[in-house]
Amino acid sequence: MAGTTHGEGRLRPPFPPWLTKTLTTLATVAATIIGLLFVTFMIGRVMPIDPVLAVIGERATQEQYDQTFRDLGLDQPLLMQFWIYVSDVLQGDLGKSIRTGQKVTTDIARVFPATLELASLGTLFGVVLGVPLGVVAAVRRGSWIDHLARFVGLIGYSMPIFWLGLVGLLVFYGILGWVAGPGRLGIFYQGVVEPITGLLLVDSALRGEWTVFRDAFSHIILPASLLGYYSLAYISRMTRSFMLEQLGSEYVTTARVKGLGEWQVVWGHAFRNIRIQLVTVIALAYANLLEGSVLTEIIFAWPGLGQYITTSLLANDMNSVLGGTIVIGTIFVAINIFSDLLYRFFDPRSK
């Protein structure tokens, strides 16, 4: 076929490659989010819960019920309801929460930074401790440190986060008093720092309010460590597994035969080759934490996205659930795109 051969007869693509790739990515993102919205919307509508009652409560009269039914647009066909919702979303209107009485965008702007801050710190702990632990466990396979890494991983997988959170609070807050209690900030510091990003640690640092920073850190350290521990368990286990595979490869043997130092072999060669896989693992771990760690947020009274979506779902507050779904969907897509970019950075072949 002339159009598919190399040389002068080849058809020129209608757009430059970068534009084609960008458009493809954008189309994929849009299709993913629309699909996600459609599924969530339909689940919300077919759930055996009456959304009108969620608004007006069980004491309302039939007249008030009918009025609210119409106000919510429930008298429209299902697909029309979805179309109206998507049209509003495209104009930046995620609707109003029936649970908080506020705009969903306002609610999300309040709860998302709390989750972002917690998940980021948790992932940071997980990566900083989990990656070296996994590498050392693989290098010293069968040693006590390997056993320790596997034990840590096992506990991380098997211990209910709810229980571990309560024990953590009891020991470090209740008994030892090393950290502050539930919530993001002590009552004495509420409203002291004017928000810039919504991230309390960042805002207090930017404003130079170090007492507030210290209090915020004292509040976040325990839940972040807890989430970090679960990330660590996953990341260290995967790192160990990837490293074992690399350390058994011929090129590692060759490097050792050439007389390279162990440090150079492990970090210079073997580790370099697991970076791409690690990026995926870390990205997934981060995305999972951003999606919201509902139980951690409940125990630590952390007003984050996970708790927001779960409470909204139970109250059949579908605007909030859909708004949260958009945010989470966007996060997953953004993290995937970011991972792709990192692949290109770490793997010359993908360039």
Partner 1 sequence: MKKSFVAAAVASLLSVGLAAPSFAETPPNMLVIANRIDDIKTFDPAESFEFAGADVSRNVYEKLVNFDPLNLDAGYRPQLAESWQISEDGKTITFTMAQGHVFASGNPVTAKDAEFSLRRAVQLNKTPSFILTQFGFTPENVEQTIVATDANTLVLTLDQPYALSFVLNCLTATIGGIVDMETAMANAADGDMGSDWLRTNTAGSGPYKVVAWKPSESVLMDLNPNYAGAKPAMERVIVQHIQESATQRLQLERGDIDVARNLSPEDVAGLADVDDVKIVDELRGRLMYFSANQKNKMLSDPKVFEALKLATDYEGMAGSFLKGQYTVHQAFLPLTFLGALEENPFSYDIAAAKAALAESSYPDCGPIKISVRDAQERLDIAQSLQNTWGQIGCEVELIVGTGAQTLDRYRAREHDIYLGAWGPDYPDPNTNAGTFAVNPDNSDEAGATGFLAWRNAWDIPEMSKKTLAAVVENDTDARREMYLDLQREHQKVSPFGMMFQQIEQNGMGASVENFVAGGATTAVSYWVITK
Q: State yes or no: residue 298 binds partner 1 (CB under 8 A).
A: yes
> Closer to partner 1 at the Cβ: 224 or 265?
224
- The single-letter DSSP state of residue 132 is H
Distances (CA, A) of 34 to 22, 83, 87, 192, 332: 18, 11, 11, 40, 14
**Shortest distance, CB of residue 287 to partner 1, whole angstroms?**
24
β-bridge mates for residue 103, sequence order:
96
Among 36, 180, 235, 331, binds partner 1 (CB under 8 A): 180
Instruction: Show contacts with partner 1 in window 91-110 (CB under 8 A).
Output: 97-102, 107, 110
Do 287 and 231 meet the contact criterion of CB atoms below 8 Å apart?
no
Is 170 one of the binding residues for partner 1 (CB under 8 A)?
Answer: yes
For partner 1 (CB under 8 A), the number of binding residues is: 60
Out of 32, 34, 38, 60, point to the residue binding partner 1 (CB under 8 A): 60
Helix runs in 76-103, H state only:
78-90
Q: Are 239 and 279 a contacting pair, CB within 8 Å?
A: no
Is 173 within 8 Å of 181 (Cβ atoms)? yes
Stretch that binds partner 1, among 142-150, 185-193, 235-243, 268-276 (CB under 8 A): 185-193
- Between 119 and 299, CB nearer to partner 1: 299
Write the DSSP symbol of residue 159.
S
Distances (CA, A) of 119 to 167, 224, 225: 20, 7, 10
132 touches 125 (CB < 8 A): no
Instruction: State which residue, 13 or 48, has the beta carbon closest to partner 1.
Output: 48
- Pick the piece of the chain touching partner 1 (CB under 8 A) from 38-46, 56-64, 75-83, 276-284: 56-64
Which residues of the chain form contacts with partner 1 (CB under 8 A)?
48-50, 53-54, 56-65, 67, 97-102, 107, 110, 166, 169-170, 173-174, 177-183, 186-188, 190-191, 205, 210, 213-215, 217-218, 221, 298-301, 303, 307-308, 311, 314-316
